[in-house]
Structure 1
Amino acid sequence: MADELSRALGFVHDFARRKAPVVTPVPGGFAVLDERYPMSHDDNRLIVWSGAPGPVLAAADERLAGLGHRLVCVDDDRQGQEFRPAFGAAGYQHETNVVMAFHGPRPAAPAAATERLDLAELVPVLREEWRESLPQAEEGVVEGLAARAAARPAGADLVEFHAVRAPDGQVAARADLYVHEGVAQIENVYTGERHRGRGFARTLLTALLAATAGAELTFLVADADDWPREFYGRLGFVPVGHTHAFLRT
């Protein structure tokens, strides 16, 4: 499992570097920056795995100056635990994520279980999701959060956006699929509120697991304290390690 964790984190690091217009070193890691999407936490953050909290906090203030957030992702579990007191004192909220690798038998997906969305089809779906999630957000914020999907294809050799539709034709569930050098990541899994509990996410994940049957490793990252991790476990994903995120807004 240690090797799976190492490969998964290496994939995440390389994906972030490849899609970022600006990558700069920071103590114990690197920062990724994209001025096109200043409201995007994912596109403007520090990723570290070693070091002391003081220099990392200072680097976050320096590299993310002028933004409305500070996000530091710590990809070593022990280091993340050690960072908690200093980051908490500095006003950061803490979240633990679990890296999960697929260990189950590969399912056989029915034909046309999902469809691929191009960016022109995906962005309007994302706009509606962000309006639902952030009803008080200004339109410019919603537009930026939806438009940032355009940066993802630079992150891996294969980047696809998959969806399952409800009988009325609306996108009920969707997810990203990234594949690079034998490793596959399933990311940004989302089911609209009115479509939850109807099996759409299971159909989607089953199809993606069938599609990645040739991968040496298929993984995803889930919130350690949220219910989807149990759903992923029932599909055959097992925890291989934990990472930490510190956010101040």
Structure 2
Amino acid sequence: MIEAGEESMKKVWESLSNSGTQEEAYPDNPRTDIRGMFSFQPKRILDIGCGLGAVSGTIKHDFPETFAWGCELNPITADVAQTRLDKVSRSPMEAWGGDELELLKSVDTVLLLDVLEHMYNPWSTLQILREHLPEHAQVIVSLPNCANIHIFHELANGFWHYKPAGVLDVTHIRFFTQYEMQKMFYETRFKVARQAYPYFLPYIQEDRVFPFWFGGESMQVHVKDQSHWESLNAVQIYFNLVTAYDEQLNEEELMLKHGRHPETLS
């Protein structure tokens, strides 16, 4: 039975504008934890999907010699970022002209923090970066992991519940598992130098003997080892990417880059 007033509650899709973006305020989060993924202290940053400029703006505040360049498509948000950063581009990378592409050659660090899943073609963005970044550059990526236990459980019960934020954010266009993230990176000619799981579901705290079956009446997952268990409990995954040639890749990495996708039922 619907309680009085419930029928007037705002639906999550009602927060979307005609462009597919949310009308809600952008979070002003400096995300200082992402600095643990740096291989070196950035001197010239490109922050794609910079929002209000909190992340790269805070780095610039802490290290004033840093050049901080943001890319933000929301004009109101970009205006705020402009007060914090040295430069803000307001068009997608695919539309950049010669000056911006030339400037990209001087960047040593790119931030792609929960932005690739909002793009229709994230592969194209990564290809442009690979073509124009200097060889020593690092690319820091944060992506939500749709292959976590909670999502499996909801799917087993017939749900794919869009939310205002999180893994099933209603503005997400692309959804990735850890394998699909890695394959996207290698196919666009990057190499994973480091990865980390910043947020775990509570099950990870329980002692386990591998392998084992995990789940309930609607779902059972065969957990192979500790690494598999960590990936199933990871809500988000961080990556440090570097450019790499085939001769710098091992056999498994070469398969990710050149091999066919494993056969699936779908």
Give me the TM-score of the superposition, normalised by structure 2.
0.27
Larger Rg: 2
Q: Which has the higher strand share?
A: 1
Question: How high is the TM-score relative to the length of structure 1?
Answer: 0.29
Choose between structure 1 and 2 for higher RCO, CA contacts under 8 A separated by at least 6 residues.
Answer: 1
